[in-house]
């Protein structure tokens, strides 16, 4: 009788998959940040420079944030006047528009580890 045995390391596979998702999510957050920087209100570029992308690999949660004291006010004040091409909702709108691209970046990283 001939027999073949296959031993799977599920923990290793799951770990690799989570790492790939986190990597793809980070690329997605960087993409969303770059899109947001195209429309962020601009005076001296302090707000623009304060933008960061981050990922919590434990929860697979990604975020884009701006850290100046006036970032929220600039984002929410729809009556503020900005330079042409710059706008309030500089994070919310580009982030929503980037959804498909973010998912594509995550999917590409997952495909790399599942080949």
Rounded to 5 degrees, what are φ and ψ at 84? Answer: -55, 135
pLDDT, residue 50, reads 96
- Residue 30 CA, chain-centre distance (Å), reads 5
In a structure prediction context, what are the per-residue pLDDT tens digits for the chain, which is 115 residues long? 788 877 777 777 788 899 999 999 999 999 999 999 999 998 889 999 999 999 999 999 999 999 999 999 999 999 999 999 999 999 999 999 999 999 999 999 999 988 8
> What radius of gyration do the chain's Cα atoms show?
20
Q: How far, CA to CA in Å, does 87 sit from each of 39, 69, 90?
A: 6, 17, 6
pLDDT, residue 14, reads 80
pLDDT, residue 99, reads 95
pTM here is: 0.85
């Amino acid at each position: 009788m001939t027999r073949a045995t296959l031993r799977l390391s599920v923990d290793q596979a799951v770990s690799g998959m989570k790492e790939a998702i986190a990597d793809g999510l980070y690329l997605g957050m960087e993409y969303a940040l770059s899109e947001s920087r195209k429309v962020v209100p601009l005076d001296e570029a302090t707000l623009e420079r304060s933008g960061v992308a981050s990922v919590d690999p434990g929860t697979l949660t990604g975020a884009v944030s701006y850290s100046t004291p006036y970032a929220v006010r600039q984002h929410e004040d729809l009556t503020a006047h900005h330079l042409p091409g710059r706008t309030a909702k500089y994070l919310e709108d580009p982030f929503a528009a980037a959804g498909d691209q973010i998912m594509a970046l995550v999917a590409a990283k997952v495909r790399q580890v599942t080949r």
